[in-house]
Structure 1
Amino acid sequence: MAVFAQEPGPAVAPPRSQPWYRHLYVQVLIAIAAGVLLGHFFPATGEAMKPLGDAFIKAVKMIIAPVIFLTVVTGIAGMRDLSRVGRVAAKAFAYFLTFSTLALIVGLIVANVVRPGAGLHIDPATLDAGSVAQYSKQAHETTVTGFLLAIIPQTVLSGLSEGNVLQTLFIAILFGVSLASVGARGQRVLAALEELATILFKLVAIVMKAAPIGAFGAMAFTIGAFGIGTLANLAALVATFYFTSLLFVLVVLGSVARLAGFSILKLIFYLKDELLLVLGTSSSESALPSLIEKMERAGCPKSVVGLVVPTGYSFNLDGTNIYMTLAALFIAQATGVELTLGQQLLFLSVAMLSSKGAAGVTGSGFITLAATLSIVPSVPVAGMALILGVDRFMSECRSLTNFIGNAVATVVVSRWERALDRDQFDAALAGRLPSVDQLPPEMVSAE
């Protein structure tokens, strides 16, 4: 990828220093550590903390739909060339398809090399198929056609009221195009929406102040309910999954970042608050509004951020795809099923489709795996009971990898569109931008 020339951006004032305890990532780290200790030493009390994590995630989900709607509408309506919307979408989906498939292949290769399930010799007849029945049922009910039809909401407002990300995105694109098409008559509406977006991003900043409480509650529940000890029996699988995800982020996405002219490590550090929040809550959705705000502040245009981030949350699931191939081959190896290269390629092809059919569904990683195994009968679906106990721990890594993948995709598509403000992006990655709390109200939402 060529390095595109950029117009010099406005001078960015150096951020004022804050006490260490005021930084969100420090507060979340302390909260995660406290949650682990409470869940380990007082499991019952740790489990009782679950409402704290649930309440925070609900509060975030409450604002996801309006954030996406306002970001997409103002971004599209502010563009002069509406053909750019289709161009951005085409580039984004080309990126998603390429790297989602690559993630599946990486998981397949590592599973064959490391063979984490080899030597367990589990008899499938001894497994509790009932423990995964609900996931299998939900997987059968989720099809690619049904998923695509579900993108169209019942009413114009139902996507917003129900918090459905893809329905909200669908309506926002239509509304943004319509607003841009009426020319000067839509300027007053656009100005009002931009003012509303400023207020909404301030609301996001207020909600994020509760992030440490949410991370504490979610982590205390996870350790209290499942216990660190559950990792011991399947340590090889969990370690292999974390290693593979790290390999994908640093090598594959790192190479993409280098070609695009930035450091993946600097981008990760820039998003450290959000990544720690994802780690603490095991949900990448908890950081979606902050990711939109952070990428805009880093110089990515609204029109690109609004299209790439929400669609990426459903179609660019690198961590989930690595998990699917790795978990499927682990189950096959553990139950003594030897898959031929042809069978593995068949599984890969089915997984490419089923991962899109279950996109956006809560617990999509486990549900997508069930859907794929039910279509490829060589591997027993009941074998999923083997990994049910550690799935919660692997979901954290899935979410982190998905999150980083979408951040990289946003930057890359912005570069392809020659729309990345390089000066502002470099300032963001170098830590020279002030925090949201230090910005005046009129600058909270990136323009």
Structure 2
Amino acid sequence: MKKFICVLCALCVLLGAATLPAGAISFSNNVVTRSKSILMVNRDIGQVVFEQDADEKRYPASTTKIMTYIVAYEHIDDIENTRIPIKKSVLDKLKGTDSSSANLADHVGKKMSAIDLLYSMMVPSGNDAALTLADYVGDGDIDKFVDMMNEKADELGCENTHFMNPDGLHDDDHYTTARDLYKITTYALTLPHFFEISNTTEYKCEGDEYALTTTNYLIDQYRGGEYYYQYAEGVKTGTTDEAGRCLVTTASADGNSYILILLGAPYKAGEMEEYYTFTDAADLFRWALVDLQMQTIKSTQTPICEAKVKLAWGRDKVTLVPEKNLNAVMPKDLTPENIVVETNVDEVISAPLRTDTPVGTAAVYYVDTKTGDKQIVATVNLVPSENLDRSGILAVLDVIGTIFRSYWFIVIIVAILLILAGYVIAGKIHRNRQRKRRKVKKYRNF
């Protein structure tokens, strides 16, 4: 059942991606950001609304643990009742790494539930919990677990991602992109418990006296201070000197929901420790939630163009409209000048025509009047605005006309004319010869 649910989740993500708008629009805004790579997507329809170097390879730091959660969850049948031993040999691998910890050293020689370990990994970003889960799922081989992570990345269509460990500690060959991390997170959000765990600010494991607290100040009302943003939810932070500050988070308000990936914000231990990812996230969320809204760009009643028609009695043109409503997230101050449509329809289309049968396509573009940038919103099918039947008489005449215009018909006619011409010429030659013979015969008789 666990495998079935995971396969179903993957299918939902892939099918959802197949129905998304074709374009990825990055709307201009006045937000000043410090993160190097940014990807912001409307979760309701999967439309990109802002991006910056989203395909550049970056070190992900502890946002790696989103994939660690996925692989662990999918390979542990019962996360609530499965008990996992806490091994000192596993925890010793983190010595000297200055790793974030969930204090699993207090549980060495004991067992913890898988769900407690998932909370320990995601809430305080415990590297000790990540390694313990990897060791358990990998049957004592953490490298085997990492192979599973890379296999899952391939399965999710991540083209620029490679993992070297389950915790996100720096390795030159451990990288991803904002776009790939979006794919990973979107999938993780379909799995049971993930959102609940990643949005938890305080959690107490079984037998512990003290609670674990989140590293994500954006969602922590009590410890977040100036970084707290009331509409933010989840998901995961990450920080190393090489990766800088990293953050994956979501926000929802007034029926709109966004997911945001931020990688490479400035950070240097002891020198530059500001949380630029939190300020970037809050500012971008405010902009999107205030200035953008879902709009119907073109409806099934919107005339897009006219097409010439043949074989329809008494009609030589038909109006084409979108097959479905085109809904997209757009700036609230959108004007007709911001939308440009380019059609791809045959010069002449033939009846019969039906309102449910596409006869062409239209590419819909958003044009930023400030910058002049032209970005595709979507490509939509075009259908006739009305049904048109075929005229039998016009169809017969068209067939006859087609025959008359066909290459082989012309070749045959030319051949026939040449034969006739040859026959006429041969006949004329024959008659001339006959006349000459008669003249010779008449001369002899004299």
- TM-score interval, normalised by the smaller of the two chains: under 0.3
Q: TM-score under structure 2 normalisation? A: 0.24
Higher strand share: 2
More helix by share: 1
RCO higher in structure (CA 8 A, sep ≥6): 1
TM-score (norm 1): 0.24
Larger C-alpha radius of gyration, 1 or 2? 2
